[in-house]
Amino acid sequence: MFTHLPFIWRILLITLLLGSGLTIFWGTIYVKDDQEALQKRFIKEMNVRARASRIRLDNYVKLHHYSAELFVTQKRFVNYLNKTDPSQSPGNLLNHNSTPPWFPDRSIQRTYIKSHHFLLLDSAGLIREKYSRRGKSIPEQLNERIKHHNTILMPTESWFAKLDTGLFLITSQSLKKAGNPFWNRLLLVTEVDDEFIFASQGLLATDDLFALIDNETQTVMVSSDIELIPVESKIESLQKNYLIGSESFFDYGNSDVIIKLVVLVPRIELENLLNQVDQESKRQVVMISTTFIITFILVFLWFILHLNRFTQKMVTVSKNNLGITAPTAAPGGPLERLQNQFNLLSVAILQARERERLTQIQLAKSEMMAALGDLVAGVAHEINTPLGISYTSATFLNGNTKKIHTAWKDQELTRSDLESYMELATESTELIEKNLARASNLVSSFKMVAVDQGRNDQRTFNIKEYIEEILVNLRPKWKRTSHSIHLTSPDDLIVNSFPGAISQIISNLVVNSLLHAFPEKSEGKMHIDITKEGDMVILNYSDNGCGMTKHGINKVFEPFFTTARDRGGSGLGMHIVFNLVTQALNGTIECKSELGAGVNFKITFPVTAPKQHGAKSVI
C-alpha cells in the first residue's frame, strides 16, 4: 500500500494511523469509564446530602418537641392555667385574634416557637382556646383528627396529618403536671410547606431540591421549590426531567400518612456535567496519545540512527576482517540494508566454516598418515636388527663354507675342520632362522595394523590379541625409556567392529600420554583395562602422568587444542579419538583427571557395531 514511500515515511505514517485509531478506541473506553464513574459518584454524593438533609429535618421536628416542653414551663403559661377554670363555661371556644396572655415572651417566640397554630385542649379533648399567627386559619378537619388522637397520644409526641389544605406537623404536650386537672393538652400545629423545608435545613441548606412524597399515592405533598416541583405532581412525571434518589421514610408516632423524603436533581445538570467530563477526558486522551506518538517517533528515529551506525560498523568489520564489500547504494531502508549485510555475513561465515571443516579433514588425514609413517619407521627400525643379524650370520656361514670347500678340493680337509664347520653351520642356521621368524612376525603384525588404519572395514576379531599387535608396533616409541604399558582383558572377548578405528584410538592415546603426561617423569605407567558389561565393551585407558586442569578437561576434545605445541602437538589427536569413538564405534568417551593424578579415559562401545554402508569419514 505504501511501498512507493521511503522506509522512514512508511513507519511514520503507520504510527500516525495507529495513534489515531488508539486515540479513538482509548477515548471511547476512557470517556465511558469516566462518565460511569462520575454518575456513580454523583448519585453517591446526592445520597450523602440527602441523608444529611433527613437528619436536619429530624432535628427540626425535635425542635418543635423542645418548643412545646419550653412553652408549658413558662411562668406566664403556668399562672394562666392555674387561675382559669374553663369548666365555668363548658362548650365555649375562645379564639384569640391577638397574642394570648399565656403566650411566651417575644424572645422565646423568635428563637424557638416556629408553629403557626396553638391549641389548648380540655380533659374531654375539646379545643377550648386557639391562636393562629401570621393570619393563618386552622383547618376544620383538624378537630376530628385531634379527637381521634387525644386518647392515644404520648406526653410529648409529633405526627404528620394530611388534610385537604395540605400537610401539617402536630406536636402534642401533656398538661397534667400543670396543677389544673381541667386542662389536658397543648397542641402546636405547623403547616409543612416550602418555608418549613427551607427552615429545617438552616444555614446548611443547599441548592438541592427536596420533596416529601405520599408513599401511597406517589405524589408530591410539599417541595422545597413549588414552582419546579408542584404539589400533587406524580413521581413518574418527575422522573423524566429529574434524577430521584435517597428515599427516606418518615413515620412519626400516630401519623396518618407515610411520607418519603426524596432528593431531585435535574437531569440537565448531570448531562452538562457529563459533557464537561467528556470534553476534559477527550482532551486528556488527545494529549496522552499525542505524547505517545511523539515519544514513539523520537524513539524510532533514535533506533534508526543507532541501526544505521550498527550497520555501518558491520560493513566496516566485514570489509576489514572478511573482505566482504557491500553494494554502495543498497536499495530499501535501514532494516533491508541490515538484512542484506547479515545475509552477506552468513554466506561468508558458512564458507569460512566449510573451509575450516575441509582443513580439519585434511589435517586429520595428514595426522593419520603421519602416524602411519611413524609406525612404518618404527617397524623398519625393529626389523632392521633381526635382518642384520640374519645377514651377518649368513655371510659368516658363507665364508666358512667356501673355506671348507677349498680344503676339500685341495684334499687338505681334516676331520676336526669338518666337525668344527658342522657346529658353526648349525649355530648360524639356527640364528638365521630365529631372526628371520622375528622379522616375519613384525611384518605380519605391521601389515595387519597398517591395512586396518588405512581402511574402514568392519570385521570380527579378538580385541585383546589385536591390541597386543598394536602395542608391538608402538613399542619403538617408548622402548628407549622406562615407561611401560599394561594390558588387562578377557582372552575370549570377540567383537565385531572397526579394527582400524580401535588401532587409531589406542595409538593416539598412547602417543598423547608419551607427549603430554610424562615431561619430567623417568618412569611412566599406562594401563589399558577392557571389560564386558552386557552388550557393551568398556575400555579404560589411564596413566600416572601430570594430569589436566578443569579447563583442559573441558577442551580436550576440541580441535587444535594442545598444551605441547612447542613439542610438535597438533591439537587434533584427541579430537580424532572423539570422532572415531562416537561415529565409527557408535560409542561414548569420558575424561576424568586432576593435576598430579594422571588421566583416565572411559570408552564405551557396543560389542557388535551397527552396520555401515561403504567407507565413511569419521571426522
Q: Considering the chain, what is the average pLDDT of its residues?
A: 76
**CATH number for the domain that contains residue 514:** 3.30.565.10
The answer to the question of residue 421 being in a domain is no
The whole-number pLDDT of residue 530 equals 93
Flag the least confident range among 181-185, 201-205, 614-618.
614-618
Residue with cell 645377514: 391
Q: State how many domains the chain has.
A: 2
pLDDT of residue 331: 56
Q: Which of 63-77, 130-144, 574-588 has the lowest mean pLDDT?
A: 130-144
Kindly report each contact of residues 312-317 with a partner whose C-beta sits within 8 Å and lies 24 or more positions away, as own/partner. Answer: 314/338, 314/341, 314/342, 314/345, 315/341
Give the structural domain span for 465: 457-619
- At 538, is the pLDDT very low, low, confident or very high (cuts 50, 70, 90)? very high
In this structure, the chain runs to a length of 619
Which string of DSSP letters, residue by residue, matches 493-520?
-EEEE-HHHHHHHHHHHHHHIIIII-SS
Query: Quick check: 444 pLDDT over 70?
Result: no
Is residue 517 within 8 A of residue 552, CB to CB? The reply is no
Question: How confident is the model over 153-165, as a mean pLDDT?
Answer: 75
Q: Which of 41-45, 176-180, 522-526 has the lowest mean pLDDT?
A: 176-180
Find the mean pLDDT for residues 474-479. Answer: 76
Average pLDDT over residues 188-207: 78
Sequence-distant (≥ 6) Cβ neighbours of residue 322 within 8 angstroms: 345, 348, 352
pLDDT band at 527 (very low <50, low <70, confident <90, very high): very high
Q: Cβ contacts of residue 528 below 8 Å, gap of 6+? A: 467, 485, 486, 487, 488, 489, 506, 539, 540, 541
**Owner of C-alpha cell 382559669:** 84
Q: Which residue did the predictor score with more confidence, 563 or 239?
A: 239
> Is the per-residue pLDDT at 213 higher than 80?
yes
Has residue 448 been placed in a domain? Answer: no
pLDDT at 588 > cutoff 50: yes
In whole angstroms, what is the distance from residue 315 CA to residue 342 CA? 10
Contact (CB, 8 A) for 524 and 502? no
- The Cα–Cα gap between 224 and 212 comes to 9
Domain ends where: 210, 238, 269?
Answer: 269
Residue 3 domain flag: no
User: What is the model's pLDDT at position 618?
Assistant: 39
pTM over 0.75: no
Report the pLDDT value the prediction gives residue 523, as an integer from 0 to 100.
79
β-strands 127-132, 94-96 pairing: parallel
For residue 537, the model assigns a pLDDT of 93
In-domain check, residue 308: no
269, 291, 312 - which closes a domain: 269
Host H or E run for residue 292: helix 267-317
Residue 283, pLDDT above cutoff 80: no
The per-residue pLDDT for range 233-281, each reduced to its tens digit, is 888 888 888 887 766 677 666 677 788 888 888 888 777 877 777 777 7
User: What tens digit of pLDDT does each residue of 510-522 get?
Assistant: 888 888 888 666 6
Contacts of 492 (CB under 8 A, 6+ apart): 462
Beta bridge partners of 250: 259
Name the β-bridge partners of 530: 539
Structure confidence at residue 309 (pLDDT): 78
Sorted by sequence, the CB contacts under 8 Å of residue 225 that are 6+ apart come out as 194, 209
Q: Which of 532, 531, 551, 486 is nearest to 513 (CA)?
A: 486
What pLDDT, in 10s, does the model give residues 326-360?
655 455 566 666 677 677 777 777 777 777 777 76
User: 33 lies in a domain?
Assistant: no
Q: Given 254, 269, 284, which residue is the final one in a domain?
A: 269
Cell of 236: 413518574
Check whether 292 has a pLDDT greater than 70.
yes
3-state secondary structure of 483: coil
pLDDT value of position 605: 93
CB 418 within 8 A of CB 404: yes
246 torsion bin: left (phi>0), alpha (psi -120 to 50), beta (else): left
Query: Which of the two residues, 341 and 471, has the higher pLDDT score?
Result: 471
Is the pLDDT assigned to residue 201 strictly greater than 50?
Answer: yes
Q: What is the pLDDT of residue 490?
A: 92
